């Protein structure tokens, strides 16, 4: 079991919904990955390198809503600067993206 956190700790993490506007293979990543750009509404467009290439092709992601952590510091992935963490669940087949059940305005925070 993990340590418990306070509500104030949880509120520090900005987990928001965004819509993927562009996706392509990240040819410079050590492990198969995709570069993903998402519109997070009031938070703007952000990009991420995500190890989701086992289950997803770039062309099937555009227009899809995803859930991201958008207040981590940027992380350099080779020559690519990743600005948010695309959330998902690891499985034996690959990472399954976190999804929303129905459309949500971009930038809406998880509550």
State how many domains the chain has: 1
Q: Where in the sequence is the domain holding 91, given as residue range(s)?
A: 7-97
| DSSP, residue by residue, 61-111 | HTT-EEEEE--SPPEEETTEEE-SEE-EEEETTEEEEP--SS---TTPBP-
The verdict on residue 105 lying in a domain is no
Query: Is pTM, for the whole model, over 0.85?
Result: yes
Mean pLDDT taken over the chain:
96
Q: Which two tokens stand for residue 103?
A: 């459309």
CA of residue 82 relative to chain centroid, distance: 10
State the CATH number of the domain containing residue 69. Answer: 2.40.50.140
Gap between the terminal Cα atoms of the chain: 22
pLDDT tens readout for residues 42-63: 999 999 999 999 999 999 999 9
């Amino acid at each position: 079991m993990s340590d418990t956190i306070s509500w104030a700790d949880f509120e520090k993490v900005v987990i928001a919904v965004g819509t993927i506007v562009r996706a392509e293979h990240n040819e410079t990543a050590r492990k198969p990955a995709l570069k993903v750009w998402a519109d997070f509404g009031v938070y703007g467009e952000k990009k991420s390198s995500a190890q989701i290439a086992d289950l997803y092709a770039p062309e099937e992601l555009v227009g899809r809503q995803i859930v991201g952590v958008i207040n981590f510091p940027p992380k350099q992935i080779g020559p690519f600067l990743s600005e948010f963490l695309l959330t998902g669940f690891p499985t034996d087949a690959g990472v399954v993206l976190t999804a929303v059940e129905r459309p949500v305005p971009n930038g809406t925070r998880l509550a």
